[in-house]
Amino acid sequence: MLNGLQPWHVIIVLVALVLLFGAKRLPEAARSVGKSMKIFRAETKSMRDDEDEPAEEPEKRQLPSATAEPKGTEAQVADLQRQLDELKKQQSAADQAQKHAS
């Protein structure tokens, strides 16, 4: 049955860690974990402080009406369609080259 974590379990884990990583690398790893935790705590504290401050009022902008199309929309769509077609041609050429290579 599982009786929880016994002291000899901890000793076995520590011996395994020393054997796997070496006695020199373990303190370095612990130091880097400690530094990471310190940075993490500082960042979460700053996020909490930012939430406490009142947010500035965002600028209110008028959205363009749905019926008014911006100038050049059709030209932009045509240009994007042309680029898409070129990419498809390049992809199919690359696929064919790969099939011939294998």
Mean pLDDT of 13-35: 86
pLDDT tens per residue across span 36-46:
999 999 999 98
Helix (H, G, I), strand (E, B) or coil at 26: helix
SS3 72: coil
pLDDT surpassing 70 at residue 80 = yes
Residue 64 neighbours by CB under 8 Å, 6+ apart: 70
Lowest-pLDDT choice from 17-21, 24-28, 53-57, 94-98: 53-57
pLDDT(102) > 50? yes
In a domain, 1, yes or no: no
**Counted domains in the chain:** 1
Q: Are residues 51 and 44 in contact, defined by beta-carbon separation less than 8 angstroms?
A: no
- Residue 79: inside a domain: yes
Domain extent, residue 25, equals 7-52+74-101
| pLDDT at 91 (0 to 100) | 87
The yes-or-no verdict on residue 68 having pLDDT over 60 is no
